Structures are given as structure tokens and as C-alpha cells.
């Protein structure tokens, strides 16, 4: 079986450094510790769409450094499980949950999401997966496994920034895939896969502006701190990320790629 390449490792190793924190403060209006294209505005909509109640249990599938999950747990007062492959991301996520006083409410597990989840059937009331699915090998299996651990009528909120809607060159795909193993799918593919896995689609919304804004701001802030970043990461790593950010803006501004959010319910 192919393994996802875990291209986030170098990012997470430096995420809590003072320099990266300074850059994040310039990029995000409200930095909640996300390493994705989500924002507080979007997460506040998640809070409504997920219909979480105080006794609810939430799964975050690919929680990264735990920003969105911590935010949702703090605001909905639920208990949760965050699964993630990267050990550095989990260390950051645990620190974050601790810092915000919700460590008791969140269990984090190091899990390769390409394998069956080590979680019982019908455990969760809701699940989220923020900008993760494009890094997984077979999303049809993944959606079926998420359906397995959700209770009947449990809700899933999924975002995917890997939808192809226009012309994309091989060079653009190479630069866009900066974070490692990545798959891009045609519009409609996720809906069909979700249906087959036992979900009913309630809502589908586009949010491609968020990657454009975040990448533009990150490019500008990183240019300002170029010397310090090159000292920390090396010239090649600096240039590669700048090329990735420029390509992101190019692809989403032309709508060659789209980011969608899907709200579904387990039938
Ligand atoms: C764009 S980040 C999103 C992180 C988090 N959802 C957020 O919004 O901050 C994608 C995450 O997917 C994780 N990931 C990629 N492949 C994975 C796998 N096979 N199993 C578990 N997590 C994986 C990466 O390590 C990374 O943390």
C-alpha cells in the first residue's frame, strides 16, 4: 500500500517558533492555530451546521495542530477525539488544548487515516475533516469508515481544496503538491463517493477566497521576514514555499482549482 508522504513534518517542527508565530499574526485576522484554509468565520458556521449539543462527541479527522478542534470544543462544550498522523502536530495540539483549558475534553490519537480507524462503530455525533482528504489514498474507503464511527443522522463537515474545475498544468500540480502526496478530483466526485459511503448531502458551498487571501498574506509576510526565514529553513525551502503560495493564488483566482465545503448526514 502507498503511504502518504507526511509533507507537513517540516512545517510542524517550526510552527511554535517565535518567527512563525509573528508571521501567523500578520496572516490571520484571528489565529486559532489552524494549519489549513479555514477561518473563524467558517468555523462559526460549522458550529451551526454540526448541530452539536453539550453531551455530543465530535471527531476531527486529520486534526493537525488542533486549532479548529480546540475552537469547536471551547464553543460547543462537547467532548472530542482528534486523529492525526504527525507526532509534532499532536504535540502542538495537546499543548493548545491544555493552554485553552479543554485538555480533559479532547483525546488525541496518532493514527494513519489511510487505515481503518481504531474507533468503535456509532461512537460520534458529528465529524469534521478540514483540508485533509486530498492527502489520503482512497477517499471512498475513508468516507465509509467515517460513516461507520458516526451515529445514524450524525453530521460530517468536510472541506476539500483539491477540486479541479479548469486547466491545470503539470508544473502547477507539482508546485501545488508541496505538502506531499496529493490527489485532485473532478467536481462531483466527492458527492458520489459520500453517497456510496452512506451519506446524504445537505449543503455544498464554495470557499476558494480563503486560500487566496491566506496565501497572498503569507507570501507578503514571508517576504518581509525573508532573511530570518532563510536562516531558519534554508534558501531552497524558502523559495519552494514562496513558489507554492504564488501557484495557489494563480490556481484559485482563475478557478482552475476550487475549495468546497460539504455538509452531510449519515443516512
Ligand atoms: C492542511 S492540514 C489540516 C490540519 C487541520 N485539519 C487544520 O485545519 O488545522 C492536513 C493534515 O492532514 C494530516 N494527514 C495527512 N495524511 C494523513 C494520514 N494518512 N493520516 C492522518 N492524518 C494525515 C497532515 O499531517 C495534516 O496535519
Model confidence pLDDT, tens digit, residues 34-62: 999 999 999 999 999 999 988 899 999 99
Cα-flanking dihedrals φ and ψ of residue 28, to 5°? Answer: -100, 130
Rounded to two decimals, what is the model's pTM?
0.95
- Per-residue pLDDT reduced to its tens digit, 222-261: 999 999 999 999 999 999 999 999 999 999 999 999 999 9
Query: Among 5, 259, 51, which residue's Cα sits nearest to residue 154?
Result: 51
Total domains in the fold of the chain: 1
Whether 221 is in a domain gets the answer yes
* 150 pocket-lining for ligand 1 (C-beta < 6 Å): no
* 16 pocket-lining for ligand 1 (C-beta < 6 Å): no
What is the residue with the minimal CA distance to atom 13 of ligand 1?
62
Residue 33 confidence (pLDDT) above 90: yes
Whether 1 is in a domain gets the answer no
228-234 contacts: CB < 8 A, separation 24 or more?
A: 228/19, 229/19, 232/14, 232/17, 232/19, 233/10, 233/14
Whether 2 is in a domain gets the answer no
- Per-residue pLDDT reduced to its tens digit, 114-149: 999 999 999 999 999 999 999 999 999 999 999 999
Please say whether the beta carbons of 93 and 63 come within 8 A. yes
Using CA of residue 66, residue 10, residue 37, residue 145, what is the dihedral sign?
negative
Mean local confidence (pLDDT), 157-173: 98
Helix (H, G, I), strand (E, B) or coil at 23: helix
Average model confidence (pLDDT) for the chain? Answer: 95
Full domain range(s) for residue 207: 9-266
- Residue 89 sits in a domain whose CATH number is 3.40.50.150
Whether 4 is in a domain gets the answer no
Ligand 1 centroid, distance to 239 Cα (angstroms) = 23
Please say whether the beta carbons of 68 and 36 come within 8 A. yes
Whether 88 is in a domain gets the answer yes
Amino acid at each position: 500500500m502507498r503511504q502518504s508522504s507526511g509533507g507537513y513534518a517540516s512545517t510542524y517542527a517550526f510552527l511554535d517558533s517565535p518567527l512563525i508565530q509573528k508571521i501567523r499574526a500578520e496572516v490571520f485576522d484571528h489565529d486559532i492555530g489552524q494549519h489549513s484554509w479555514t477561518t473563524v468565520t467558517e468555523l462559526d458556521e460549522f458550529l451551526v451546521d454540526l448541530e452539536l449539543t453539550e453531551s455530543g462527541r465530535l471527531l476531527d479527522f486529520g486534526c493537525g495542530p488542533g486549532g479548529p478542534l480546540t475552537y469547536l470544543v471551547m464553543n460547543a462544550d462537547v467532548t472530542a477525539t482528534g486523529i492525526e498522523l504527525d507526532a509534532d502536530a499532536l504535540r502542538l495540539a495537546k499543548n493548545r488544548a491544555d493552554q485553552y483549558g479543554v485538555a480533559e475534553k479532547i483525546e488525541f490519537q496518532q493514527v494513519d487515516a489511510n487505515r481503518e480507524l481504531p474507533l468503535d462503530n456509532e461512537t460520534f455525533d458529528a465529524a469534521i475533516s478540514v483540508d485533509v482528504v486530498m492527502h489520503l489514498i482512497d477517499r471512498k474507503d475513508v468516507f465509509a469508515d467515517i460513516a461507520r464511527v458516526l451515529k445514524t443522522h450524525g453530521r460530517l463537515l468536510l472541506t476539500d481544496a483539491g477540486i479541479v474545475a479548469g486547466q491545470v498544468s503539470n508544473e502547477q500540480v507539482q508546485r501545488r503538491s508541496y505538502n506531499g502526496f496529493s490527489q485532485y478530483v473532478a467536481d462531483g466526485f466527492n458527492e458520489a463517493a459520500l453517497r456510496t459511503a452512506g451519506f446524504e448531502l445537505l449543503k455544498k458551498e464554495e470557499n476558494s477566497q480563503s486560500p487566496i487571501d491566506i496565501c497572498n498574506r503569507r507570501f507578503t509576510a514571508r517576504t518581509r521576514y525573508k532573511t530570518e526565514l532563510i536562516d531558519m529553513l534554508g534558501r531552497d525551502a524558502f523559495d519552494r514555499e514562496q513558489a507554492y503560495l504564488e501557484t495557489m493564488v494563480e490556481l484559485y483566482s482563475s478557478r482552475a482549482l476550487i475549495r468546497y465545503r460539504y455538509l452531510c448526514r449519515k443516512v
